[in-house]
């Protein structure tokens, strides 16, 4: 879901922060619940939450995501699934730019799926990997 700078409200900021926290907790829980199953298959399951940029979600350069990775016993990455939660950037004519100049604008992109859809997507990802 795309947002213009005029759409940046306290409610949106709260929704971004709440979603980041909920998904961070969810992937950690998912790993804890499934780590032993993967270990029995000589695989390593890990997850992470990444946040970059300033502490303000409405500043260009801010972005957040959650990811799940699967590696073999030698720590070689086998598969990686990443889901972007929020990204804020400055654009000019539809292209990202690093500097503020006349005609550029700040936009944000928020995760399109609901929390429940994301939970299901990660569950399917893990189940598919364990079955396949």
Give dist(CA 111, CA 1) in Å, integer. 6
Residue-wise DSSP of the chain:
-EEEGGG--HHHHHHHHHHHHHHHHHHHHHHHHHHHHHHHTTEEEEEEEEEES-S-TTSTT-EEEEEEEEEETT--EEEEEEEEEEEEEEEETTEEESS--TT-EEEEEE--S-HHHHHHHHHHHHHHHHH-
Sign of the C-alpha dihedral, residues 19, 21, 64, 55? positive
How many domains does the structure of the chain reveal?
1
Computed over its alpha carbons, how large is the radius of gyration of the chain? Answer: 17
Q: pTM for the full model?
A: 0.87
Give dist(CA 24, CA 18) in Å, integer. 10
Structure tokens at 98: 């690093």
Give dist(CA 48, CA 69) in Å, integer. 8
Residue 113 domain boundaries: 2-131
Please, are residues 43 and 87 in contact by the beta-carbon 8 Å criterion? no
Per-residue tens of pLDDT for the chain, all 132 residues: 999 999 999 999 999 999 999 999 999 999 999 999 999 989 999 999 999 998 899 999 999 999 999 999 888 999 999 999 999 999 999 888 988 989 999 999 999 998 899 989 998 988 887 876
């Amino acid at each position: 879901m795309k947002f213009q700078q005029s759409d940046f409200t306290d409610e949106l900021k709260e929704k971004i922060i709440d979603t980041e926290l909920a998904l961070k907790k969810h992937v950690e829980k998912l790993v804890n619940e499934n780590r032993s199953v993967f270990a029995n298959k000589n695989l390593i399951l890990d997850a992470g939450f990444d946040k970059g940029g300033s502490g303000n979600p409405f500043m260009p350069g801010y972005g957040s995501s959650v990811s799940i990775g699967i590696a073999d016993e030698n720590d070689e990455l086998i598969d990686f699934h990443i889901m972007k939660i929020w990204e804020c950037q400055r654009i000019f004519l539809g292209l990202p730019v690093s500097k503020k100049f006349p005609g550029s604008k700040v936009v944000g992109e928020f995760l399109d799926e609901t929390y429940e859809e994301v939970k299901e997507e990660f569950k399917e990802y893990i189940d598919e990997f364990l079955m396949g």
